[in-house]
Chain A
Amino acid sequence: MSALRARYGAGPLHLLGVLAALVISAYALSRVFSLLPQPLSFFVWFVGAIVLHDLLFLPGYSLLGSGVARVVAGDGPPSRVRIAALNHLRVPVLLAGLALLVFFPVVLRTGETTFKAANGLTPDVYLGRWLALTAVLLVGSLLVFCIRLPRLRRQ
């Protein structure tokens, strides 16, 4: 047992668990290969999803976020007012961004043809709705910030 730990780096349960996960994945891939006429596109999407999220999307919004933070909060130790201003900006932007991330196909009408074929409607209402949501979130957040401002200044 300790020989396994020394050579492998973990206990036998760890080895069993990881092997089980790999066997399940191998089985799923074998089914994908026998069922999909273009199994390569499955790989492209699988690996592409990791690359897109971990190496583009996450660094992208992190850079954007820290850029905004530097502008709003400044470089030195930020005041409470500046921190609050930053949060009253980034929270609504984050939520509006989340809505767009999830619903961009209808908002930006990327699948308009198949959408219309399915339910007979066009997705042209969604951009307006998303803009309205974004406006409500930003204005609402700004109002709350204005209400909080006198108290923040006093502290």
Chain B
Amino acid sequence: MAFLPSPPDAGPFKRSFWRSPLRGPWLASFLSSALLPLIVICALTGFLSHAAYDTDLGENAVFGDKGGFDFYFFDWPSSPAWLYAVTQGLHIITGLAAIPILLAKLWAVIPKLFESPPVRSLAHGLERLGLALLVGGTLFVFATGVLNIQLWYPFGFAFVPAHYYGAFIFLGALAFHIGTKIKVMRRAYRDQGIVRPLRDDLAHTRPEAEPTDEHEETSAPANPAAPTLTRRALVATVGAGSVGLAVMGAGQVIGGPFRSLAFLAPRGEGFGSGPNDFQVNKTFASVGIKRDEVGPDWGLILQVGDERKVKLSRAQLLAMDQVTEKLPIACVEGWTTTQEWSGVRLSELARMAGAAQDAEVQVRSVQKGGAFNQATLNSGQLNEQRSLLALKVNGADLSLDHGFPARVIVPALPGVHCTKWVGKMVFSA
């Protein structure tokens, strides 16, 4: 049953065009088996990252509206302190590690793109439409993610909603793809064993069998060339690439001395050795704050609802009980830095303002524009004893790049919600 005119029986549309003896259902299945756990972890941690922004609070909604599957039913916890460093670190590490396997998988099945006839039945046509969504969705999500962590934004759209809803397309199509291919995978493993083809040396590296079922065209070659690479060498090369990229990711997630392992990763550059010499997310120079806005006249305004309670100078804040906590700050871009922060407990400021026990707080920066010049913290984060309005780091005053005169630091909170250059805290009435 042909729904479309057949393509010419030439070039890539000819079965004999594809010569590699390594391609076939076993190779595709094996690569998929390695890919799937990475994608599952990457997807789950991706959605968790969205939850970590507590998008239902205040103006936290990253999409600018509260429609769609953009709501969560739990407040993001503030313990353990390394929670977000681990979930978001895993997101970036598994995402990077998946890339070489994904590329190898696409290479393994490319002959199927040119299969003939292009559409055998309605089911086959819809399945191929699903594949277009799968391949497009995968490449889209991975490409935007990789560009975003390197701080290059050549796409003309907002990253977060595009990456988030691109993932919906990708994951929906992936679930269907797994459903249709699980048979192929089971058959390949039954016929050839799960790892048996990895034992073959070059002399024993033979093409996978031609499909026996005439309705199922596979990626195994009809006209194979002599092998020049074993399957285990191919898998080892892909695995080496995967491990290498994972190490790059892990180095900037763990930080400290391990950062040097991430020598190609965007956060693999070291700063000096001073108290303020660690990774910056937004520099002071880039946010358009005037020097005198954070000068001697700066003061922190505490409000409960619309009612202004008190304005505290930096000297007054420094005269309050100072607490020091060693806490990681983790960025959505998959890097972490752990420092010793000193300042005033947020709960102490809440008490001073006379806020209710279960209040939330919106922290506003003196920064005028920008997507993250404010963030609302849930009451758990506000009451957490390690949540600070930090005035110092590693014993020294915060630098302007790190949020002088004062910044928020809350355990397990995405870094960009740890507002810098704080001007005002508005507790919910």
Binding site for B on A (CB under 8 A): 7-10, 13-15, 17-18, 20-25, 27-29, 31-32, 34-39, 41-42, 45-47, 49-50, 52-54, 58, 62, 69, 73, 77-78, 80, 83, 86-87, 91, 94-95, 98-99, 101-103, 105-107, 110-111, 114-121, 123, 125-126, 129-130, 133
Contacts and interface: CB of A to CB of B under 8 A. Distances in A.
B356 interface: no
Nearest to B401: A120
B265 interface: yes
B228 A69 contact: yes
Contacts, number: 223
A13 B280 contact: no
B221 to A, nearest CB: 13
A18 B176 CA distance: 6
B97 to A, nearest CB: 11
A19 to B, nearest CB: 8
A interface majority secondary structure = helix
Interface in B182-238: 202, 226, 228-229, 233, 237
Nearest to B146: A102
B165 A28 contact: yes
Given A45-B155, A49-B143, A117-B283, A106 B266 contact: yes
B206 to A, nearest CB: 15
A50 B139 contact: yes
Contacts of B133: 21-22, 25
A14 B124 CA distance: 10
Given A9-B123, A18-B127, A120-B283, A98 B99 contact: yes
Closest 6 CB pairs of A and B: A9-B121, A111-B152, A24-B172, A9-B123, A10-B123, A49-B139
Contact of B122 (A9, A37, A91, A133): A9
B150 A106 contact: yes
B151 A102 contact: no
A110 B151 CA distance: 9
